[in-house]
Amino acid sequence: MGKGYYIKVNSVTHAIKAKDVLNANGFKAQVVRKSKQGRSESCGYSVVIDGDITRAEAILRNYHVRTSGYGEIRDKL
């Protein structure tokens, strides 16, 4: 099993599109809402995935889904 990552997005629309695109390309992805304390830099939504983050980012770029960074999940959902 791969590592877990979160991908930050700029809107809930991009989060839903990212989830759909990644699921269609073999990832297990889900949209999560961040707590109010962690929302200073984005809309408050992220997409959580297991697997190759480099491949996931490339797929999202190919489908023109805007992201604003990613990070590794320490405690998996």
At 42-68, the pLDDT tens digits run 568 999 999 999 999 999 999 999 999
Short-list 75, 77, 56, CA closest to 67: 56
The DSSP H or E segment spanning 3 is none
Looking at residue 40, its pLDDT comes to 55
Segment 27-44 shows an average pLDDT of: 74
C-alpha span between 65 and 1 (Å, rounded): 25
Q: Report all structural domains of the chain as residue ranges with CATH numbers, in order of start.
A: 12-72 (3.30.70)
